[in-house]
Chain A
Amino acid sequence: MIARRLLVFFLAMCLAMPSRAADLPRPFDAATPAALARDFAGKPYILAFWSLECVHCQGELRLFARQLKTRPDLPLVLVAADSPELAPAIAARLAEVGLDPVAHWAFADPLPERVRFAVDRKWRGELPRTYFFDAAHRAKAITGELREAQLSAWVAENHK
């Protein structure tokens, strides 16, 4: 009974405080890519991976921060390839680059290869790694820091 009440309490907390919830990464595991594809059925979206330990990811995070200022509806799924244990560090880094608050995910699997296998079997973990999905969910993968022109071109074509 207590467990159930706690559950209801947590859920109520989540619903009541969406801005607080933005501090917390959502768990991203091997089932998440398929779930995202269902959530975005018929719609384009961007799946972008970064990490606290990735030197070249910071510029890309800043690019997303700038883009979200002019296009707050950018369908961005931002995933830290870090453990959810690092939630405070992840939130702090996102705030630092001007991405606060934003919905974000973190790898929730002790086997990062299992998560990557579900995203893209050939992906060995290079970061940053960005997947542009069009409305038919055809993916274009980009490794390395995304350039402003690449993001703008995708937005112009897919997210009018």
Chain B
Amino acid sequence: MRLPLGLLVLFLALLLVLVPAARAEHGGPAATPAPGGMWAARMKAAKPLAISAAFDERGRLWLVRVERGHVLLEVSEDGGNRFAEPVRVNPEPEAVSADGENRPKLAIAANGTVHVSWTVSLPRPYTGHVRYSRSTDGGRSFSTPVTVNDDLAEVSHRFDALAVDGDRVVLAWLDGRDRKAALDAGRDYAGSALYYAVSSDGGATFQANRHFAEHTCECCRVALGWQGDQPVALWRHVYPGDIRDFALAALDGAAAPRRVSDDDWLLQGCPHHGGALSADAKGALHLVWYTQGKTRQGLFYRRLERDVLSEPMKFGNDEAQAGHATVLATGKMVTLAWSEFDGKAYSVWIRQSPDGGRTWQAPCRILTSEGAADYPLLVARGDQSWLVWNSEREGVRALPLEGADSGADS
């Protein structure tokens, strides 16, 4: 290794400072910290960039972020230029997961109830609990956080997804309890399982956890939305032979999950790269996902309309790590957003279809950042699509997208 001397010295000095500091939190300099303990300490100290955002019916922009183990709620009256003082959701700091595929989730009900969920990491690697809290006084105070998974073994209950419709609150997550039971019984188990819990009283109480699907990919976020009054989920599944393609299902429905990507991605690993979905007013589902399968590679969009899947449409530049796509249908407009990295800077790209996903405008680069950045988020404000993007240098930027064209390039 030939590294600049200065860098080497700086690195060693940093280690001398950081290593004892990390160890001190784990009871004595002689103790080797458990990896999980290190994670917890780091998460409690961190101010990660991963956020979630939502507009309420009055057009106020809400967001949740994580700082030093607290989930913080902020609200902006002016479309994201200024945010009011944050309110703490969880009173006690926790090892809140907030790193891309993991982020606190936020949903505002029509009656103004603010619903927040997050995953807290446990000391053992790859384990966690799904946590939930709500505010019924407009975000001024929050209920005592509860753990939603009713299995409390130190296994994975992570990658929570939250969807709210009136008084119905649905939380879905990737759950390791079936895997543990199988392994304890000496059997193999591919991946994790999809579990969910429903509240029909606006989040005051949750019914018993429900097992929904076996053999999901372990570390790709779950996408959750509403198709009419049906909660629907999109997740990366482990099909026989370690094929990690996407499955879609209505959680309350009797129909078996439907395979919605036939990419044939054979992978003994997890891409940490989930999909996204959005239902339009006519009930069509718009899906985006990432794959490196035999059949196709890159980012793709397709819609499920009257039970028919459209041909996958590729988007994004493979030479710039195009990834972390999201999709939002508002009225007839369907918007895709994703991030790219050109070697120097991150950029957020969008592509819009004014006719429900049939024809598409040219891709358009909307924002850039030369520092660390979160994934791009699409948020509906009534029938308008907004892009919300958090980056280290610029902070949270929010802008409406309708009428966006290449002239908006920054």
Q: B228 — which chain A residues lie within 8 A by C-beta?
A: none
The A-contacting residues of B in range 28-56, CB under 8 angstroms, are 32-35, 38-39, 42
Encode A109-139 as 1/0 by CB contact (under 8 A) with B.
0110110110001111111100000000000
Known: A39-B2, A55-B270, A88-B22. A124 touches B290 (CB 8 A): yes
CA gap between A11 and B11 in the complex, in Å: 12
CA gap between A7 and B343 in the complex, in Å: 32
CA gap between A128 and B15 in the complex, in Å: 26
Q: Are A88 and B267 in contact (CB under 8 A)?
A: no
Q: A91 — which chain B residues lie within 8 A by C-beta?
A: 32
Other-chain contact of A56, B1, B38, B269, B318 (Cβ < 8 Å): B269
Q: A159 — which chain B residues lie within 8 A by C-beta?
A: none
Known: A114-B341, A117-B341. A125 touches B272 (CB 8 A): yes
A43 close to B (CB within 8 Å): no
Q: B290 — which chain A residues lie within 8 A by C-beta?
A: 124
Question: Which of A27, A89, A110, A125 neighbours the largest number of chain B CB atoms within 10 Å of its CB?
Answer: A89
Instruction: Give the Cβ gap from A128 to chain B, nearest Cβ, in Å.
Output: 6
B19 close to A (CB within 8 Å): yes
Instruction: Give the Cβ gap from B15 to chain A, nearest Cβ, in Å.
Output: 6
Closest B-chain residue to A123, C-beta based? B321
B259 close to A (CB within 8 Å): no
Q: Are A84 and B35 in contact (CB under 8 A)?
A: no
B68 close to A (CB within 8 Å): no
Q: A15 — which chain B residues lie within 8 A by C-beta?
A: none
CA gap between A86 and B40 in the complex, in Å: 11
Query: On chain A, which size bracket covers the interface?
Result: 35 or more
CA gap between A111 and B391 in the complex, in Å: 11
Q: Are B321 and A121 in contact (CB under 8 A)?
A: yes
Other-chain contact of B346, A113, A121, A125 (Cβ < 8 Å): A113
CA gap between A145 and B12 in the complex, in Å: 32
Instruction: Give the Cβ gap from A53 to chain B, nearest Cβ, in Å.
Output: 7
Other-chain contact of A54, B32, B42, B270, B323 (Cβ < 8 Å): B270
CA gap between A124 and B95 in the complex, in Å: 26
Encode B265-276 as 1/0 by CB contact (under 8 A) with A.
011111111000
Q: Are A52 and B125 in contact (CB under 8 A)?
A: yes
CA gap between A100 and B39 in the complex, in Å: 21
B18 close to A (CB within 8 Å): yes
Q: Are B341 and A126 in contact (CB under 8 A)?
A: no
Q: Are B341 and A85 in contact (CB under 8 A)?
A: no
CA gap between A56 and B271 in the complex, in Å: 10
Q: Are B125 and A88 in contact (CB under 8 A)?
A: no
Q: B1 — which chain A residues lie within 8 A by C-beta?
A: 26, 32, 35-36, 39
Q: Are A84 and B12 in contact (CB under 8 A)?
A: no
Q: A123 — which chain B residues lie within 8 A by C-beta?
A: 321
Known: A53-B219, A93-B35, A122-B319. A143 touches B267 (CB 8 A): yes
Q: A110 — which chain B residues lie within 8 A by C-beta?
A: 371-372, 392
Known: A53-B125, A85-B18, A143-B292. A116 touches B218 (CB 8 A): no
15 sample A-B contacts, Cβ–Cβ < 8 Å, listed by A number: A7-B9, A10-B9, A26-B3, A27-B11, A54-B269, A55-B218, A56-B269, A88-B38, A89-B34, A113-B321, A113-B346, A124-B271, A124-B323, A126-B273, A144-B269
Complex A-B, nearest 5 residue pairs according to Cβ-Cβ distance, in ascending order = A144-B269, A113-B341, A89-B38, A144-B268, A89-B35
Starting from the known contacts A27-B11, A85-B42, 15 additional A-B residue pairs (CB-CB under 8 Å) come to A27-B7, A32-B1, A39-B1, A53-B219, A55-B219, A88-B32, A113-B321, A113-B346, A121-B319, A125-B271, A126-B267, A126-B292, A127-B269, A143-B269, A144-B242
Measured CB to CB, the residues of A under 8 A from B are 6-7, 10-11, 14, 24, 26-27, 31-32, 35-36, 38-39, 52-57, 84-89, 91-93, 108, 110-111, 113-114, 116-117, 121-128, 143-145
